Amino acid sequence: MKYQIPAVLAALLLAVGGGYWLGGKTRVGAGDTAIAAAPGVAAAPVEAKQRKLLYYRNPMGLPDTSPTPKKDSMGMDYIAVYDGEDDGAASGEVKISTEKVQKLGVRTEPAALRELARQVRASGRVEIDERRLHNVAPKFEGWVEHLHVNATGQPVAKGQPLFEVYSPELVSAQREYVVAAKGVAALKDASSEMQSGMRQLADASLVRLRNWDISEEQIKALAAGGEARRTLSFRSPVSGVVLEKKAVAGMRFMPGEMLYQIADLSSVWVLADVFERDIAQVKAGQKVRLSISAYPEKSFTGTIAYIYPTLKAETRTIPVRIELANPGGLLKPAMYASVELAVGERDKVVTVPVSAVIDSGTRQIVLIEKGAGRFEPREVKLGARSDSYVEVIEGVRDGEPVVVAANFLIDAESNLKAALGGLTAAAAPAAPKSASHQATGTLDAVDAKAGSVTVTHGPVPSLKWPGMTMDFMLANPSLTQKIKPGSAVNIEFVERKPGEWVITKMDAAAQTGSSAPADPHKGH
């Protein structure tokens, strides 16, 4: 037994040492750079492995790659593409690493059914209701003897005396009425013809006084007293506020001359200027909410009563009349008002946030999250918009997660254009036109400052061009470093934007007996 114990200890030490050596060899072979574990401590398993770099691609989506890091003509770094990141482009999907998704701050939100209503906002101003504006203008000639209301802005009640007036015509009409009224009383025993004639004369005098806006109260006092008064009181026809006062004590006035202007401000108008693009959503009878800067804690409600038929060419707005009550006279004429009107769909429709849409000008795209760093670009047909959401008529179903933040960064970080091209190719049976074109020709001149070259090239079958001399931009100035003007070259170029042709690749070509034909249409 005494010999068995040392043998067992030796076997244990050998096993521990061998396991430590094998663990260290396994970790080094896996490419792990961590410091070796201390003796007697088990090594943690390492799952991460180094990614394989495939190439560097153009940051602007041009078909130009490089095996080494470099910059484009605008100084932007080419983007590294690792093994597995370019998967999915052929199937119409965009795939980027999970690490980059986190760095970009990608955020998604599911498409949902909503009542799509938006706020039409307009600025307006408080105006007097034109139907509640009254002018006090006597229908006879006279003089102002005394003023009862002698200040602009003074509130008045209906029937309240405004001023005392003297008029010879008014005194004459009063006397005629008094004489006729006494005559009717004196001829009560006379023949019916005489009574009828005198009664007609009295009625005519009474109608004349009423036509001159003499109140019934004063007419009754005149009939009861039996004497014509030298002056009579002219009374307010409505309750309101004196906006304008031209009457002055002792002044002479002519028939029809305005002496007072009185407005009833218990109800007012707000004339709002609605932009041309929003006017189709505005209807008469709709309720609107108004806010006045003088009363920030209050909210007013009005009704659209009329949409004017004219447009202001200077502001491209259309006036809209809003009627609202004015209890307490808080709303003053000429005050500014902010108008908000809820318009849009009342039925629930599929919507996505406005930020989810990438609009290229010719079509609209949203990115659908497929999980694990995969995104599907999908063309959509849009409908009505609100302030925050837009209706999706076709392309997205309720509940699908759409990218609402960093979608443009995904566009820049991945070859989204290639994925969209795959969608187009799948939708159309005909093969799409090649994005890049090749030609052979002669390098005529290099403009290093402008980053352009002049090339006389032969025919370009993919564009159906004949041979010609034209200017090209350079995707990278280094393309011409090893090529001198006059050299034969093979070029590959793309159209970066309409009319701008960019050479992405240029190689020296072997000289042949015949050079590329020149064309007089230089600068095509």
CA atoms within 13 A on the CB side of 491: 33
Share of residues in the chain with pLDDT > 90 (%): 32
One-letter amino acid at 58 equals: N
Name the 3-class secondary structure at 221: helix
pLDDT tens digits along 117-148:
778 889 999 999 999 999 999 988 999 999 99
Q: What is the mean pLDDT of residues 103-113?
A: 86
Specify the range with the lowest mean pLDDT, choosing from 166-180, 234-248, 250-264, 283-297: 166-180
CA distance 124 to 322: 9
**What are the residue ranges of CATH 2.40.50.320 in the chain?**
436-508
CATH architecture for residues 108-129+264-424: Beta Barrel (2.40)
pLDDT for the residue numbered 450: 86
Q: What is the mean pLDDT of residues 320-329?
A: 92
CA distance 120 to 387: 9
pLDDT for the residue numbered 92: 60
- The larger pLDDT score, comparing residue 397 to residue 89, is at 397
- CA dihedral (73, 76, 80, 81) positive or negative: negative
CB-based burial label for 472 (10 Å; 0-12, 13-18, 19+): buried
pLDDT for the residue numbered 22: 42
The token pair at 69 is 């890091």
Specify the range with the lowest mean pLDDT, choosing from 152-166, 330-344, 414-428: 414-428
CATH topology of domain 133-263: OB fold (Dihydrolipoamide Acetyltransferase, E2P) (2.40.50)
Q: What is the mean pLDDT of residues 428-436?
A: 49
Band (200; pLDDT cuts 50, 70, 90): confident
CA distance 486 to 509: 11
Band (179; pLDDT cuts 50, 70, 90): confident
**What are the residue ranges of CATH 2.40.30.170 in the chain?**
108-129+264-424
φ, ψ (nearest 5 deg) of residue 77: -70, 140
How many other CB atoms are there within 10 angstroms of residue 314's CB atom?
A: 6
Band (9; pLDDT cuts 50, 70, 90): very low
- The larger pLDDT score, comparing residue 407 to residue 276, is at 276
CA distance 45 to 431: 50
CATH superfamily of 436-508: Copper binding periplasmic protein CusF (2.40.50.320)
CA distance 216 to 231: 16
Band (336; pLDDT cuts 50, 70, 90): very high
pLDDT for the residue numbered 21: 39
Q: How many helices (H) and strands (E) does the chain have?
A: 7, 29
- Going by the DSSP 8-state scheme, the letter that residue 385 receives in this structure is E
- The larger pLDDT score, comparing residue 196 to residue 459, is at 459
Report the chain's C-alpha Rg in angstroms. Answer: 46
pLDDT for the residue numbered 331: 93
How many other CB atoms are there within 10 angstroms of residue 50's CB atom?
A: 10
**What are the residue ranges of CATH 2.40.50.100 in the chain?**
133-263
The answer to whether 282 and 342 have CB atoms below 8 angstroms apart is: no
Our measurement of the distance from residue 280's CA atom to the centroid of its chain's CA atoms, rounded to an integer in Å, reads 15
**Whole-number mean pLDDT of the chain?**
78
Band (425; pLDDT cuts 50, 70, 90): very low
The answer to whether 335 and 126 have CB atoms below 8 angstroms apart is: yes
CA distance 142 to 164: 10
pLDDT for the residue numbered 489: 92
- The larger pLDDT score, comparing residue 480 to residue 40, is at 480
For residue 232, pLDDT over 80 is answered with yes
Q: What is the dihedral of CA 478, 480, 481, 483, to 10 degrees?
A: 150
- CA dihedral (273, 274, 275, 280) positive or negative: negative
Alpha helices in 216-355 (DSSP H): 216-225
pLDDT for the residue numbered 345: 59
How many other CB atoms are there within 10 angstroms of residue 284's CB atom?
A: 11
For residue 34, pLDDT over 60 is answered with no
The answer to whether 377 and 154 have CB atoms below 8 angstroms apart is: no
Q: What is the mean pLDDT of residues 317-325?
A: 95
The token pair at 20 is 């430590």
Alpha helices in 123-187 (DSSP H): 168-186
Overall pTM > 0.75: no
Band (43; pLDDT cuts 50, 70, 90): very low
